[in-house]
Chain A
């Protein structure tokens, strides 16, 4: 009898999980469905009706939306800024982390605590001065913004790298240096290979942040170069009503790369989240 009861509970739990999963997937399906409908049929209760011969507009929303916000150039900027920022964050902060962990002193200590402090300061604190300042020193372009992302990503990334470097024995590095390797050579052939798994974790966390970031690209380069989040919000326009058809189509296009990335790197993403949560 007890066995039968247990089996029932298992299926009840399964049914609840299916309902939760439906709740998760439902909004995304609604958006996909509406992206094929004419504007008029997206608002109000029509939002949950399948496209029919009256409301179906084929791919018109897609072509219209792509045109209006230059989706592919937005995709290009997002991709370039994310990839370049993450590469530079990984390279420069691993070097910084090695230096401040291995060279003990007042200065490196102060640097370390400043970096930790920067992790807790919300963006709003520096938003205004940073965007004006970056405009003054000409960082307000798709190349300059990389510098800003390295500066902002510095805190967490250096913190995580130095946490790991502290745990690896210094003997290997010393041996390499005694054998005549320069610090540069020691770093690239001895230290860097050991940092690989931490680097993957950091890369995942920083990618998720930079790709989805809205305020910084909006304030710094938003008038000339739009990343995907900025382009999507731009569809709202100044006043007037939003072209919901184009909006739905652009939301779908914005989600596709994220979902592909997730399906391919799921294992690393979940690992990264766990490591990041415990340390952050």
Chain B
């Protein structure tokens, strides 16, 4: 069968591969090369070595600032989203009345797109801040916590669904044995529930981690980096470097390469973390 099928490369594999090459592979290789060049359109490039990479940090400090902002934002959201989602999942697996309705409601924000979400929260947060005579843009800390609230609102339901499935998979006899042995709620939680759902915790940690680092749409719609680039995250900073300053395309591309390495590194660590856990089990 393999021999016959092999001849059908053009029919089965080629159509998707052409799309893949046009949309991803060629632009990626090209982009990588251009990160070492100076250019304004993609065909008039001249080689400048590492200059773009150096300029990414020296021409202004927005990129470094965006990195720290993104890192802080990601750390806070990874912790809050996972704790809240896990707590909700614990509660919703305890036969509380209306479990299904709650689950439906909690998950819903996840389907709404980032741009729409950003504008929704802009109105709500500006409404709240108005009673203190402030707006979202009057201080970077409002933008920061606004984004944190928005991200929690959007992601808690998603992670909760993953945790619920994991908790429901814990064998009932294990929990029963624990209660016969006289384990209280706290012991059961830390000795049985949490260790049993550890793989899901790893998955959710990395999902929230990459979601945080790659955030763009919500950032654009909520604050667009204001005031003065202080709430600009990495993805938005890269976009602005490309498109709002002429002559900085190379710097934007160099930043994009560094961003890719950062995100890929997180993914690799995740791969190693999940693999080693699989071996343990």
Contact = CB atoms under 8 A, between A and B. Distances in A.
Interface of A: 10, 13-14, 16-17, 20-21, 23-28, 30-31, 34, 42-48, 92-93, 95-96, 98-100, 102-104, 108, 111, 114-115, 118, 120-130, 132-134, 137, 139, 147-152, 154-155, 158, 170, 173-174, 177, 183-184, 187, 208, 211-215, 228-229, 232-233, 244, 247-248, 251, 254-255, 258-259, 261-262, 266, 269-270, 273-274, 277-278, 280
24 contacts: A13-B96, A24-B105, A24-B108, A24-B157, A96-B15, A103-B5, A111-B13, A121-B264, A122-B235, A122-B260, A122-B263, A123-B214, A127-B242, A129-B27, A133-B26, A133-B30, A137-B22, A150-B23, A151-B21, A152-B23, A152-B24, A212-B116, A255-B112, A270-B161
A128 B130 contact: no
A177 B11 CA distance: 17
B107 interface: yes
Contact of B20 (A118, A213, A266): A118
Given A150-B23, A233-B221, A13 B16 contact: no
A28 B153 CA distance: 12
A214 B114 contact: yes
A96 B16 contact: yes
B108 A124 contact: no
B31 A126 contact: yes
A212 B113 contact: yes
Q: Name B's interface SS.
A: helix
A95 B20 CA distance: 14
Q: How large is the interface on B (under 10, 10 to 19, 20 to 34, 35 or more residues)?
A: 35 or more
Contacts of B98: 14, 17
Interface of B: 1-2, 4-6, 8-9, 11-13, 15-28, 30-31, 34, 41-42, 88, 91-92, 94, 96-98, 102, 104-116, 119-121, 123-124, 126-127, 130-131, 153, 157-158, 161-162, 165, 203-204, 207, 214, 216-217, 220-221, 235, 238-239, 242, 249, 252-253, 256-257, 259-260, 263-264, 267
Contact of B19 (A121, A150, A187, A233): A150
B119 A251 contact: yes
A34 B252 CA distance: 39
Best-surrounded residue of A92, A261, A274 (most CB of chain B within 10 A): A92
A261 B105 contact: no
Contacts of A177: 1, 4
Which 9 pairs, one residue from A and one from B, show the smallest C-beta to C-beta distance? Answer: A151-B23, A212-B113, A47-B127, A44-B130, A130-B27, A151-B19, A99-B12, A150-B19, A92-B16
A254 B113 contact: yes
B204 to A, nearest CB: 8
A127 B28 contact: no
B55 to A, nearest CB: 16
B61 to A, nearest CB: 19
A128 B31 contact: yes
Contacts of A211: 113
A123 to B, nearest CB: 8
A81 to B, nearest CB: 14
Contacts of B158: 273
B259 A44 contact: no
A127 B263 CA distance: 16
A128 B249 contact: yes
Given A154-B16, A208-B111, A183 B24 contact: no
A98 to B, nearest CB: 7
Contacts of A173: 1
B217 A126 contact: no
Nearest to B2: A103
Best-surrounded residue of A34, A122, A208, A254 (most CB of chain B within 10 A): A122
A183 B111 contact: no
Contacts of B259: 122, 124-125
A209 B39 CA distance: 32
Contacts of B249: 128
B19 A147 contact: yes
A98 B12 contact: yes
A100 B2 CA distance: 10
A244 B123 contact: yes
B113 A21 contact: no
A118 to B, nearest CB: 5
A184 B11 contact: yes
A30 B127 contact: yes
Nearest to A121: B260
A270 B6 CA distance: 37
B2 A102 contact: yes
Best-surrounded residue of B16, B94, B109 (most CB of chain A within 10 A): B16
A158 B114 contact: no
Nearest to A10: B96
B277 to A, nearest CB: 13
Given A44-B126, A45-B131, A229-B217, A104 B2 contact: yes
B130 to A, nearest CB: 4
B24 A126 contact: yes
A24 B158 CA distance: 13
B239 A127 contact: yes
A43 B131 CA distance: 11
Given A150-B19, A262-B111, A125 B126 contact: no
